[in-house]
Amino acid sequence: MADQLDPTPYDALLLLSFGGPEGPDDVVPFLENVTAGRGIPRERLKEVGQHYFLFGGVSPINAQNRELLDALRDDFAAGGLDLPVYWGNRNWAPYLTDTLREMSDDGRRRVLVLTTSAYASYSGCRQYRENLADALAVLRSEGRPVPVVDKLRHYFNHPGFVGPMTDAVLAALAALPPGVRDGAHLAFTTHSIPTAAADTSGPAGGPADGGAYVAQHLDAAALVAGAVREATGVERPWRLVYQSRSGAPHIPWLEPDICDHLEAEHAAGAPAVVMVPIGFVSDHMEVKYDLDTEAAAKAADLGLPVARAATVGADPRFAAAVRDLVAERAAAERGEQPARCALGALGASHDVCPAGCCPARVPRAAAAGRD
């Protein structure tokens, strides 16, 4: 038996994710949920719908979250953390509001939240906090007890995230033809967001001073690239690039796009590229379509050998990292000074988002932060 870890003051962990369709009839309602009032061009929506229909209308994300839930429950049981784990989504069943209602009815009063986004940004952090505030408001209106919710800190630089990503890059390199392996470049990819959102991400005045989205990705990518160099003895060029852009064309989003980057790498004579989706925690549709389908087709056109690294998914080291972060945060809430495990230049990020962190264009109520 492992030593018991003390989760006090928490009485539950909530896995909070994006959600995805589970059949063809779900696709359009899902996209309506995702884009409610957010002005995504119709053309883009039709295109995104097609991505899902290509895969039978099923996003892999819900199955992946079920696997992660199992991994977390197994890890907590083996690691001596007696804490029930629940799951709710922003855009599809099980919906966050339904899960929080169940948690309230189960008597959960102090809830720690793990989001399936490792980084700061409006979409990856504050929007989930807004979703929590909305759901808690529903419980309040129903006269139910409303639990206090806190959000786990960003985990992009935790060894339990960096380690599996490093092994995934090594596995992808091994999948390349031997002749191009040593020369292969690394393309770390993440979701493009409007540059205006990138420029205000994270806390102003913090270590990345409002540019946390890009700074955190660069930190994580440098850690993985460094660990791959250690393991292979080969120094490889690497770059952070972007994928899955939407929004109106005249609004600037982070660039370069992965497909343009593959073209530039090919033109510059790179013998091969490993695509590393460091911005995501599972191989969901943005990975399966935008990288494995679209970018892979681009590479095939160019005659450029590519391989794609897996995401952390339900890796036991990632589950153990979550256990570590839960124990750390619980100790901090009890007024102790826990060790904070973090690699890289930025250090452990804040426990509680300060006021103004990852601001929304239109201010709205958000839970689990100072504003």
Q: How far apart are the C-alpha atoms of 49 and 55, rounded to whole Å?
A: 10
CB of 139 to Fe ion, least distance (A): 23
Q: Residue for token digits 């129903």?
A: 142
Beta bridge partners of residue 314, listed in sequence order: none
Pick from 126, 129, 191, 298 the residue near ligand HT9 by CB under 6 A.
191
User: At closest approach, how far in Å is the CB of 212 from Fe ion?
Assistant: 8
Least separation, in Å, of the C-beta of 92 and Fe ion? 23
Does residue 22 touch ligand HT9 according to CB under 6 A? no
Contact 11, 109 (CB under 8 A): yes
Q: Which of 28, 40, 204, 296 binds ligand HT9 (CB under 6 A)?
A: 40
Task: Pick the piece of the chain touching ligand HT9 (CB under 6 A) from 36-44, 145-153, 254-262, 338-346.
Answer: 36-44
Half-sphere exposure of 52 (CA within 13 A, CB side): 22
18 vs 236, which CB is nearer to ligand HT9? 18
- For Fe ion, the binding residues in 84-143 under the rule CB under 5 A are 120, 125
| Residues with Cβ within 8 Å of residue 24, at least 6 apart in sequence | 53, 56, 57
Between CA 214 and CA 159 the distance in angstroms is: 19
Q: Is 286 annotated as a binding residue?
A: yes
* Beta-bridge mates of residue 306: 273
Which residue is nearest to Fe ion, using beta carbons? 125
Query: Which range binds Fe ion by CB under 5 A, 38-46, 96-104, 317-325, 356-364?
Result: 356-364
Residue span binding Fe ion (CB under 5 A) among the ranges 34-42, 44-52, 261-269, 353-361: 353-361
- What residues does 16 pair with on adjacent strands? 88, 115
- Residue 245: C-alpha distances to residues 43, 63, 259, 290, 323 (Å): 13, 25, 12, 10, 33
Q: Which is nearer to ligand HT9, 238 or 242 (CB)?
A: 242
- Residue 128 annotated as part of some ligand binding site: yes
Q: Is 52 annotated as a binding residue?
A: no
Which 3 state secondary structure label does DSSP give 224? Answer: helix
Position of minimal CB gap to ligand HT9:
246
Compute the residue count for the chain: 371
Contact predicate 154/114, CB 8 Å = no
Q: Total residues contacting ligand HT9 (rule CB under 6 A)?
A: 25
* The entry of Fe ion, ligand HT9, none that residue 112 binds, CB within 5 to 8 Å by partner kind: none
Distance CA 160, CA 138 (A): 35
Q: For residue 127, what are its two tokens?
A: 């929007």
Cα separation, 201 vs 356, in Å, equals 9
Which residues participate in the annotated binding site for Fe(2+)?
191, 286
- For ligand HT9, the binding residues (CB under 6 A) are 18, 20, 31, 34-35, 38, 40, 44, 48, 59-61, 116-117, 121, 123-124, 191, 193, 244, 246-247, 284-286
- For Fe ion, the binding residues (CB under 5 A) are 120, 125, 353, 357-358
